Amino acid sequence: MKNLIKTSFAALTILLASSCAKQEAMRIACVGDSITEGCGISYQSYNSYPARLDSILGKEYEVLNFGRSATTMMQDGNFPYWSAKEFNNMLTYHADVHVIMLGTNDAKFFQWNPDKFKSSAQAMIDTIYSVNPKTKIYLCHCIPARATQWEISDSVISSYTNPCIDDLAKANNLPLIDMYEVMKPHMELLFDSIHPNPVGTKIMASAIADRLRKDGVVK
């Protein structure tokens, strides 16, 4: 009986220690579309860039994937991120750091609108801060498109969408990660011209981890 009690107590101690460690982990929320979700690659829970980032940073950090395929930053886009369950899940997660990479689907010819994009992005920034004033928000440039696909145009991304993200970063004094330049030398890793393969997601995760380390946000 004594041995059973000791065993049970030891198991409870380990469980509580594990729970406390998880609660103390720095929380990082990756917000985005199918590029964040890991669309088209096998084993998303391992190969998506947020999963890769979680692996790179280690057990002191908890990185969750709040990507949703086909979503737009624009609130009146054909599938606004705002209407996806991931949006509310992200807000209730209360992350210490938010990494936002939205805009690729906004860059479709039929719906791109710089004013609506900026106003929607500003509203998202304000909403996140209203729920979690102490969080740190990183904005990311959209990665390049190797060719026009699903009406997503690299010319719109590079000439219009990413400059809008520059303006938002400056206006809000937010750090910016230039994922366009990170992936530009690796266009062959975009297996369908838009989405990175597992090698590409690893490059993306490494670039984000390097920036977070450089800024002293993570060790």
User: According to the model, what pLDDT value does residue 24 have?
Assistant: 82
Instruction: Provide the CB-side half-sphere exposure for 91 (13 A, CA).
Output: 15
Kindly list the averaged pLDDT for each block of 10 residues, start to end, along the chain of length 219: 41 40 82 97 95 98 98 97 98 98 96 97 98 98 94 96 98 98 98 97 98 97
Whole-Å CA distances, 1 to 5, 7, 8, 23, 34: 6, 10, 11, 33, 54
Q: Which residues pair with 136 in a beta bridge?
A: 97
Quickly list DSSP for 143-162.
PP-SS-BTTB-HHHIIIIIH
Reported pTM:
0.89
Please tell me the predicted confidence (pLDDT) of residue 76: 96
**What pLDDT is recorded for position 17?**
43
Q: What is the pLDDT of residue 23?
A: 57
